[in-house]
Amino acid sequence: MSNEYRIRECRREDIREVIAINRRCLPENYAPIFFEEIREKYPDLFYVAEVDGKIVGYIMCREETAGFDLPRLKAKRRGHIISIAVLPEYRNRGIGKSLLAKALDSMRERRLEECILEVRVSNSIAINLYRKFGFEIVSQIPFYYLDGEDAYLMKAKLAS
């Protein structure tokens, strides 16, 4: 198995593999049209990791407007990480970090001010990963997931 991986924007024809990874790695699944709409609207915020022509991971994000920042009378723009996953047999070789770094760079290019995400309170691997990129827990959302588990809302400042 090659150790080389490549991070690139997700293409329409990758969506089937992305959905398969999502179903294998996470209980939070979405309708195929949702993946496709996010890709069409935010192509620079949806990346895949490829090894020998096979998609082994993805990160899917969108941009959100977060209400008004009153002193400046300006809507605050922020990124939202909707989903990230790497196939189990390709983990622990930096792919998750590379996907996240790429998505955060694109958010900075869009001049977004911050990035948010939700993560299961039990998912210490993902929480560790996010902390490495400056994410901090801002609140706990009770019963966020369908099985009743709470989520942490995490946030990172993006301004460079």
Binding site for ligand COA (CB under 6 A): 25-26, 84-86, 91-97, 119, 123-126, 128-129, 132
CB of 91 to ligand COA, least distance (A): 3
- The Cα–Cα gap between 153 and 120 comes to 9
CB of 155 to ligand COA, least distance (A): 14
CB of 23 to ligand COA, least distance (A): 11
Q: Which is nearer to ligand COA, 2 or 159 (CB)?
A: 2
Q: How would you class 143 by CB atoms within 10 Å of its CB: exposed for 0-12, middle for 13-18, buried for 19 or more? A: exposed
Q: Which is nearer to ligand COA, 70 or 92 (CB)?
A: 92
Q: Which is nearer to ligand COA, 1 or 70 (CB)?
A: 1
CB of 67 to ligand COA, least distance (A): 24
Q: Which is nearer to ligand COA, 42 or 130 (CB)?
A: 130
**DSSP secondary structure code for residue 73 in this structure:** T
Question: What is the number of the residue whose Cβ is closest to ligand COA?
Answer: 96
Nearest CA among 86, 82, 81 for reference residue 18: 86
